Amino acid sequence: MPDNQTVPQIYYNSIYRHGVDQKRRVQIPAKWLPGDESVEFTLILWPKSKEGPCLRVLPPLEMAQLMESIDAMPNSDPNKTVLKRFIGSESVQIATDKTGRICLPEEMAKAAGITDEVTLVGLLDRFEIWNPERYQKVKASDAVMAQEAFKLME
């Protein structure tokens, strides 16, 4: 297995809007595709938005880091089991097909309000798949909070 210095880093940036076909397949932007077809993403139903859930897509390294952060929690913390149970039951490993599409599981797509169109949003180290109307509301909320958020970078 190559070390991290030889694997090019993929940055998930920009916003893309794609259709969803009858089999719930979504095209992933070519720049976001892993070079190795055997790489699987972790697709998680992400409930943390007041506008409604989206699908968060983690590449293998980010999923490993998420697991490490949960495992680092004390076993006495009841949130540790809740997080493991929720993420374990509300996630799936998913690979791209030969044309760079992923197939969204029916129940996850339904819970995220995804039908015939999606908005893919880059989060730099991962990306999200949104119902376009929900994402517009999230984008408006983010715009209000952005000024304060950018102060953290000073």
User: What is this structure's pTM?
Assistant: 0.89
Structural domain includes residue 140? yes
Structural domain includes residue 4? no
- Tens of pLDDT, residue by residue over 86-102, are 999 999 999 999 999 99
Structural domain includes residue 99? yes
Q: What's the domain range around 74?
A: 15-151
* Predicted local confidence at residue 74, as pLDDT: 96
* Predicted local confidence at residue 23, as pLDDT: 96
Q: Which residues of 4-24 are buried (b: 16+ CB within 10 A; e: fewer)?
A: eeeeeebebeeebebebeeeb
The total number of structural domains in the chain stands at 1
Structural domain includes residue 2? no
Structural domain includes residue 6? no
Structural domain includes residue 9? no
